[in-house]
């Protein structure tokens, strides 16, 4: 799931000195550029979790799945905080129920909204970083897993995908209002989708791309919150699900992965998709993080080798290799401009507690 994953990580809240390898003070020798290093492991190994950068500059990691745990505790409700200044993890409050392949969105209030669960839940929780407590909020109209969510300019949250029932019907969309804690129905998408991608465009509209159910789709639609309507737009060059869709500074959207090595660009002005070259590896359940330089860092999804996309040249280059080939992990842009990559699973399907940091 992807919280959409990109918009949360894009909050720049000052500069925190980068942690030295294995944690420690930022007064130590700074790390080299374009390198990977290990930092303190998670307290609990997890995959299919969610992560977000909080206003404090800390990173919260919540939920996920640990197949190494006893049967009744494999789905996780626990959450923990990473402090970039010390390179350490501390436990914080637990969600009110376990959540896997859920979505998390940082609200303008500074609270974190988490919703959905695999296999399927309609509940949602709010995390208050000032108290470290999760509290229940309104429940969605539909049970969902692998849900996609995006924060709208109105401060509402649009949720799409992952509905358990009606496989041949439309895709049920919903809106969460933080002011009331209430979910309302939004206009349906054209069909049910699992693992599509949502991207907030500069216009305030939302691009919905790909996804699948009985197969992967190349379709794309654009949602206009002002009219509550979905409008078909150009189809992708490659059908895909489990991909990432990252908004670039140019206003274009870079789509990567979903089982393919082919990348492509969407132009909101024309509704046309064009090739963005090929990665060295096909990927799925990976992450794509927009860096302060405007480049995009792609990590995991079947390979330990990370890759960088440069929109200025349209060229893909190697970004070095991680110690672990991970999928269903999280990647969070830190205030320092570094990227924190946490958890996930390797080829043996065992959850990882390892954490690595990329320095551009």
Q: How far, in Å, CA of 248 to CA of 255, rounded?
A: 10
Q: Are the CB atoms for 322 and 346 separated by under 8 Å?
A: no
Q: What is the pLDDT of residues 104-114, one digit of tens each?
A: 999 999 999 99
Query: 215 pLDDT band (50/70/90 cuts)?
Result: confident
Q: How far, in Å, CA of 244 to CA of 2, rounded?
A: 8
pLDDT at position 19 over 90:
no
- Assess if residue 23 is contained within a domain: no
- Assess if residue 269 is contained within a domain: yes
pLDDT at position 20 over 90:
no
- Say which CATH number the domain at 154 has: 2.120.10.80
Number of domains in the chain: 1
Place of tokens 């080299």: 32
Please report the pLDDT score of residue 308 as a whole number. 98
- Assess if residue 13 is contained within a domain: no
pLDDT at position 102 over 50:
yes
Please give the residue that has the higher pLDDT: either 22 or 292. Answer: 292
Q: What is the pLDDT of residues 25-69, one digit of tens each?
A: 333 555 678 899 999 999 999 999 999 999 999 999 999 999 877
Q: List for the chain the helix, strand, coil content (%; round to 5).
A: 0, 40, 55
Give φ, ψ of 323 to 5 degrees.
-70, -25
> Cα-Cα-Cα-Cα dihedral of 43, 50, 323, 25, to 10°?
-60
Q: Which domain holds residue 160?
A: 36-359
Which of 186-195, 227-236, 328-337 comes out lowest in average pLDDT? 186-195
- DSSP classification of residue 163: B
Preceding amide of 60 cis, omega within 30: no
Which of 167-171, 183-187, 209-213, 252-256 comes out lowest in average pLDDT? 167-171
Q: Are the CB atoms for 285 and 270 separated by under 8 Å?
A: no
- Assess if residue 304 is contained within a domain: yes
Please report the pLDDT score of residue 14 as a whole number. 29
- Assess if residue 26 is contained within a domain: no
- Assess if residue 97 is contained within a domain: yes
> Cα-Cα-Cα-Cα dihedral of 156, 162, 164, 170, to 10°?
80
pLDDT at position 71 over 90:
no
Question: What is the model's pTM?
Answer: 0.90
Mean pLDDT of 142-161: 94
- Assess if residue 17 is contained within a domain: no
Please report the pLDDT score of residue 320 as a whole number. 97
Please report the pLDDT score of residue 167 as a whole number. 57
Please report the pLDDT score of residue 119 as a whole number. 76
- Assess if residue 11 is contained within a domain: no
pLDDT at position 300 over 80:
yes
């Amino acid at each position: 799931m992807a919280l959409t994953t990109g918009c949360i990580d894009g909050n720049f809240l000052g500069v925190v000195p980068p942690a030295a390898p294995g944690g420690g003070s930022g007064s130590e020798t700074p790390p080299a550029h374009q390198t990977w290093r290990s930092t303190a492991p998670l307290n609990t190994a997890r995959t299919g979790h969610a992560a977000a950068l909080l206003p404090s500059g800390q990173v919260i990691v919540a939920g996920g799945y640990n197949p190494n745990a006893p049967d009744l505790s494999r789905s996780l409700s626990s959450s923990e905080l990473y402090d970039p200044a010390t390179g350490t993890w501390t436990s914080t409050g637990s969600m009110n129920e376990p959540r896997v392949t859920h979505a998390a969105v940082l609200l303008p209030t500074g609270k974190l909204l988490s919703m959905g669960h695999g296999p399927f839940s309609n509940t949602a929780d709010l995390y208050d970083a000032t108290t470290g407590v999760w509290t229940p909020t309104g429940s969605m109209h539909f049970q969902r897993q692998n849900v996609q969510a995006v924060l709208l300019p109105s401060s509402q949250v649009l949720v799409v995908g992952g509905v358990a029932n009606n496989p041949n019907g439309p895709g049920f969309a919903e809106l969460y209002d933080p002011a009331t804690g209430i979910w309302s129905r939004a206009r349906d998408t054209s069909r049910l989708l699992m693992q599509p991608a949502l991207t907030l465009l500069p216009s305030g509209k939302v691009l919905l791309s790909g996804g699948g159910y009985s197969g992967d789709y190349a379709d794309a639609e654009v949602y206009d919150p002002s009219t509550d309507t979905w409008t078909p737009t150009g189809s992708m060059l490659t059908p895909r699900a489990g991909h990432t869709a990252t908004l670039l500074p140019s206003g274009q959207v870079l789509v990567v992965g979903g089982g393919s090595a082919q990348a492509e660009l969407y132009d909101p002005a024309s509704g046309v998709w064009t090739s963005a070259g090929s990665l060295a590896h096909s990927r799925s359940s990976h992450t794509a993080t927009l860096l302060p330089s405007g480049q995009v860092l792609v990590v995991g999804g079947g390979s330990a080798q990370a890759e960088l996309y440069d929109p200025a040249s349209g060229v893909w280059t190697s970004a070095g290799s991680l110690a672990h080939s991970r999928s269903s992990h999280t990647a969070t842009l830190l205030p320092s401009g570094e990227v924190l990559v946490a958890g996930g699973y390797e080829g043996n399907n065992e959850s990882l507690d390892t954490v690595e940091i990329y320095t551009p």
